[in-house]
Amino acid sequence: MRLITCENYDEMSKIAAYMVAGQIVLKPNCVLGFATGSTPEGMYAELANMHKSSYLDFAEVKTFNLDEYYPIDRANDQSYYYFMNHHLFSKVNLKPENVNLPNGAAKDAAAECVAYDKKIEDCGGIDLQILGIGNNGHIAFNEPGEELTAGTSMVTLTDDTIKANSRFFASEADVPKHALSSGMATIMKARQIIIMISGKNKNTPLKKLLSGKITCSVPATMLNMHPNVTIIADKDAING
């Protein structure tokens, strides 16, 4: 596990974007795994600027996002599809058929989850997965507990996660209580993983990730079993 220390959020975003860009340059038809939330916003802005300057071509790239609220329509301005389209998809030349997120409006959530994992496999697996980390150590919507789910599944969000995400909604009551989320095995199958960690409130989960101990109570610690993980963290997250 490699740790890259950055002075601030902007530097973290740039370094992450350079690493994603490098993957695209080396393998133009690569499969990228993306995350939502405030942490990767700066990285998406950097990638959009790289494309705008004609440096980066997304024409052959395929993308899969970690998760989506459930139930929610992709046209809803709080959906993760809307988020990704606003921050990246609409700003680069990704083909619509190459953009994938779990369908938050699927009538059969279980079938949608199985189909989503199969589609990732059919595309050859994810070359580079971007992750963030929750205050409680969750990645995607894999929340702390006695056990973790291997494949993509519908999960019930914890009160802490609902509270943390309420800043994006009119009120906490409006936050969906469920999500379709990539499981730990789905994430761990990625050939390379980058986890971006920013802010003083992420110091505790970062320390637990770096402790070398693995526990379901901090799902991100499972990344210690992956052979190719890079942590990109700013000094606020590292120093607390």
Q: Tell me the catalytic residues.
A: 67, 136, 138, 143
Q: Is the peptide bond before 40 cis (omega within 30 degrees of 0)?
A: no
Secondary structure element (H or E) that encloses residue 231, with its range: strand 229-234
66 vs 72: CA distance, rounded Å: 15
Question: Residue 187 class from Cβ within 10 Å (0-12 exposed, 13-18 middle, 19+ buried)?
Answer: buried
Angstrom distance (rounded) from CA 108 to CA 47:
34
Sign for the pseudo-dihedral over CA of 48, 140, 170, 39: negative
Residue 89 identity (one-letter amino acid): F
What CA–CA distances, in Å, run from 119 to 12, 43, 115? 31, 26, 6
If you search the block for the tokens 């695209």, which residue do you land on? 24
Residue 132 and residue 12 in contact, taking contact as beta carbons nearer than 8 Å? no
The residue with tokens 């953009």 is 99
Contact 237, 6 (CB under 8 A): no
